[in-house]
């Protein structure tokens, strides 16, 4: 569990199968199993029409949008974002990500390790 | 210190002025001052010919390459990486990033909060 250097596409994409989710695949680019002591880097692909759950949890999200168009909902705010945008969702905030375009939305979302 | 959504280019770029560094600018996309409780997202731009120090420290790096060509050194290993590559540098490993191309190298590098 030491140095890792891989192209993201070599890392397996898993369909997210929760009920309140549509069209999302996740790749765990850097995970606890790689020896990462504190936080994980995940790569998301969201199909047109796709969305993440409108939910909250006690950990934060640190997001960087790579490709596509996205509406981010956080608390009472809503923001249209795209490639090169950075998004911070604080712990405990209700939030949702929705693909608002016609292309696959691609973004990184990092979280601290949690159960 | 709540929700944040900004284009990376709106966030100030600071020249890194250490002696053993060449051609590097850093933007603190998500920092402790944003209320991030655990880790920080930084955006690096490295000019052609630029490099980071060959050094080690007790915290890890989680890196995603956005643009350009890079040689990553970690311990006794060396890897040529480019856009879409993910790099994990474990705590305590000697490491260095070098721009190996003719364009500006752009990458995200996340670290846990540390002094």
Chain B residues with CB under 8 Å of A43 CB are 86
Cβ burial, residue A14 (10 Å; 0-12/13-18/19+): exposed
Q: Where are the beta strands (DSSP E) in B9-93?
A: 14-15, 22-30, 39-51, 61-67, 70-74, 77-81, 85-89
Cβ burial, residue B68 (10 Å; 0-12/13-18/19+): buried
pLDDT for A1 equals: 65
- Rounded to whole angstroms, how far apart are CA atoms B74 and A3? 7
Quick check: is B4 in a domain? Answer: no
Structure token pair of residue A27: 């790749």
Selecting from A11, A66, A93 the residue whose C-beta is nearest the C-beta of B3 gives A93
How many domains would you assign to chain A? 1
- Rounded to whole angstroms, how far apart are CA atoms A3 and A108? 20
Chain A residues with CB under 8 Å of B38 CB are 38-39, 60, 112
Quick check: is B102 in a domain? Answer: yes
Least CA distance to B28: which residue of chain A? A86
**pLDDT single digits (tens) A25-45:** 999 999 999 999 999 999 999
Structural domain including A91 reads: 51-59+70-108
Alpha-carbon gap: A110 to the closest alpha carbon of chain B (Å): 9
The residue among A72, A41, A91, A100 whose CA lies nearest residue B107 is: A41
Quick check: is B90 in a domain? Answer: yes
Quick check: is A82 in a domain? Answer: yes
Inter-chain CB proximity A110 and B62 less than 8 Å: yes
Inter-chain CB proximity A3 and B90 less than 8 Å: yes
Least CA distance to B67: which residue of chain A? A66
The residue among B70, B61, B110 whose CA lies nearest residue B89 is: B61
Q: CA–CA distance from B107 to each of A78, A110, B97 (Å)? A: 27, 15, 10
Question: Could you report the predicted ipTM of this complex, rounded to two decimals?
Answer: 0.97
Inter-chain CB proximity A64 and B79 less than 8 Å: no
Helices (H) and strands (E) in chain A, counts: 0, 10
Chain B residues with CB under 8 Å of A91 CB are 37
pLDDT tens, per residue, chain B with 115 residues: 699 999 999 999 999 999 899 999 999 999 999 999 999 999 999 999 999 999 999 999 999 999 999 999 999 999 999 999 999 999 999 999 999 999 999 999 999 999 6
Q: How is chain A split among helix, strand and coil, in percent rounded to 5? A: 5, 55, 40
Alpha-carbon gap: B74 to the closest alpha carbon of chain A (Å): 7
Beta carbons of A70 and A107 less than 8 angstroms apart: yes
Structure token pair of residue B113: 């909060």
Quick check: is A101 in a domain? Answer: yes
User: Would you call A32 an interface residue with chain B, using a CB distance cutoff of 8 Å?
Assistant: no
pLDDT for B115 equals: 67
Cβ burial, residue B110 (10 Å; 0-12/13-18/19+): buried
The residue among B58, B88, B51, B29 whose CA lies nearest residue A35 is: B88
Any idea what the CATH number is for the domain that residue B95 is in?
2.60.120.10
Quick check: is B75 in a domain? Answer: yes
Quick check: is B40 in a domain? Answer: yes
Q: Residue B31 — φ and ψ, nearest 5°?
A: -125, 175
């Amino acid at each position: 569990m030491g140095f890792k250097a891989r192209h993201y596409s070599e890392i397996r994409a898993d369909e997210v199968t929760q009920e309140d989710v549509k069209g999302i695949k996740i790749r765990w680019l850097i995970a606890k199993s790689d020896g990462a002591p504190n936080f994980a880097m995940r790569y998301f692909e969201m199909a047109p029409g796709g969305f993440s759950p409108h939910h909250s949890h006690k950990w934060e999200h640190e997001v960087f949008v790579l490709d596509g168009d996205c509406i981010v909902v956080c608390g009472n705010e809503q923001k249209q974002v795209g490639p090169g945008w950075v998004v911070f969702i604080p712990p405990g905030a209700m939030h949702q990500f929705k693909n608002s375009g016609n292309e696959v939305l691609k973004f990184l979302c990092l979280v601290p390790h949690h159960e």
